[in-house]
Amino acid sequence: MQSRRERVKIGRERLQHIIEMCKSIEERSLDPFLLNVDEIIKIVREYFPEWEQPEDLCLDAETIHRLASVIKLQSEWVKHRSTSLYMDPFLLEEKIRRIEKKEMVAAFLQAWHPIVELEQISIHSLAEALRYWESLLPLNERWKEFPQPEAEAGSATREELIKQRILRDKAFTEELENFWKELREQVEAKGADGRIRYWDFVGAETYEETVQRAFMTSFLVTYGYATLEIRPLEEEIYVRPYEKQVRITAKKQLVSVPIAITLEDWRKWKEAKNNEQT
Amino acid sequence: MSKRKAYYTSKLKRAVHMLFYKRHKKPGVKGWELRKVLGSDYPKVLSILDDYLKSLDLQVKTVFEEEKPSEKPTLEQLDRARFYITLRGDLTPKEAKMIGWRIDDLAGLAITIAYITSKKGKAPRKEVEELLHDKLPEWKVGLNVDRYIRYGYLTQDENEQLYLDWRTRAEVDQKALIDLLLGAETQQESSS
């Protein structure tokens, strides 16, 4: 008698196998009738009561989705076979091997009606081009350098440079490490399972501040202070801080994750936050 | 000349200018472009032009965005369609050579189009190349497929799947090609 764990393991493997088979039928244009749909449904039904984890339910849903795609292909296959355009590819391969090149070309020439397309200069376009040329300034005039504004040399204080955003008030690494510390504190306070929802972390009182926090978060991830966990089905992104900075090696394939921080998204988040508080 | 005749003569000239001369990267003109220049009765202008071109062995070819409608196309479908001037009849092998095609390349194109058509308009490039390799040298096979893609007969996706592209839809009567290939074998079989 199989234990439940074993059955779950076998079930997962079987569903994975079905997904792979469906994928190869779709991608390699194989005969979709190679798949016995009744048999597959029987397997999916057999293991369905075992699924409790969300990942397993997702696997089950993906299997059904892939199976539906293959059934669609079967319907297209039948439709195509019933049209006059259908020719068995194996039969065709045989024909191609037997037909002489000349015969093939003769057949093609009877079905080929090439497009007539002309390109020709006209007196009108030449005249237009000459007018343009006459009015065109020489390159040295068009690319003339703009005179440099004369600037007087002076002195500025560190505070003034920070105000003008030329210098930052803290060294970047120091700022990043403080931000990392804040992330760990927030995970402890508001997060669960060692992670926090991306928007709960980057979201701030103002939109500008939110963008600044998202910008800093991207550096936390790039420099190995934290990682992003993306759950496409839940449409949620989580930030998980590392206990120690992780050195990212070149051997590992790096992935860029673009996250849009739009004003609309920020407003929605803010509204949801306000609702939660009230 | 009656006013009506003068009206259509002038429209015909504009239509010829638009259809014969390349205006964009690809040849042909969209229906909505013709409507903008020729007016809403452009289908009638094209029909008169098509009649006129018959004696020159040319035709106005309409390629619809989706499958060819079984009934009379609607104005919307025509607006989205692309119009070309193509040869009405067919070329002799000698003429085909004159417009820049070697017999090998043309046979390769015929095989590729027929094969992809038989596979419902999509086939892996590897399979097509294996088929061509049967009669063409290996170094030429890849080059030829790239050439067919460049000319717009085929297109390729990121999974190296080949599809028929806009030029095949405009120039090749796929049903006739398949019928002719089937017929060609019957002739060979009957002679043996």
- Per DSSP, helices labelled H in chain B are 3-20, 31-38, 42-54, 75-80, 93-98, 103-118, 125-133, 138-151, 166-171, 174-191
Q: Is A196 helix (H, G, I), strand (E, B) or coil?
A: strand
- Please say whether the beta carbons of B29 and B19 come within 8 A: yes
B104 lies in the same domain as B184: yes
Q: Domain end: A63, A81, A99, which one?
A: A81
11-50 of B, contacting A, C-beta below 8 A = 20-22, 27-28
Q: Residue B141, Cβ neighbours under 10 Å: how many?
A: 19
Domain span at B159: 94-191
Domain CATH code at residue A193: 1.10.10.580
Question: What's residue A82's pLDDT?
Answer: 65
**DSSP H or E stretch at residue A116:** none
Q: Residue B119, Cβ neighbours under 10 Å: how many?
A: 19
Q: How many CB pairs under 8 A join A and B?
A: 150
Structure tokens, A177? 């490490």
Number of domains in chain B: 2
Number of domains in chain A: 2
* Cβ–Cβ gap A85/B109 under 8 Å: no
B23 lies in the same domain as B43: yes
Q: Domain end: A81, A111, A129, which one?
A: A81
Pick among A102, A104, A121, A125 to test the B interface (most B CBs inside 10 A): A104
Residue A53 domain-assigned (yes or no) = yes
Backbone angles phi, psi at A39, to 5 degrees: -65, -45
User: Given a cut of 80, is residue A108 above it in pLDDT?
Assistant: yes
One-character DSSP codes across B104-130: HHHHHHHHHHHHHHHTTTEEEHHHHHH
* ipTM > 0.90, yes or no: no
- Please say whether the beta carbons of A158 and A167 come within 8 A: yes
Q: Domain end: A58, A81, A104, which one?
A: A81
Domain CATH code at residue B63: 3.90.1150
Q: Domain end: B89, B106, B139, which one?
A: B89
Contacts of A115 in chain B (CB under 8 A): 27-28, 61, 84-86, 167, 170-171
- Per DSSP, helices labelled H in chain A are 4-27, 37-47, 54-81, 89-98, 101-111, 123-135, 139-142, 158-163, 172-190, 198-202, 207-222, 263-277
User: Per-residue confidence of chain B (192 residues) as pLDDT tens digits?
Assistant: 678 888 888 999 999 999 998 777 888 999 999 999 999 999 999 999 999 999 999 999 999 887 777 778 888 899 999 999 999 988 887 787 777 788 888 888 988 998 898 887 889 999 999 988 887 888 889 999 999 999 999 999 888 899 999 999 999 988 888 878 777 654 445 444
Residue A87 domain-assigned (yes or no) = no
Domain CATH code at residue B107: 1.10.10.10
**DSSP H or E stretch at residue B30:** strand B29-30
Domain span at A68: 4-81
Residue A44 domain-assigned (yes or no) = yes
B137 lies in the same domain as B186: yes
End-to-end Cα spacing for chain B = 62
Q: Domain end: B89, B119, B148, which one?
A: B89
Residue A125 domain-assigned (yes or no) = no
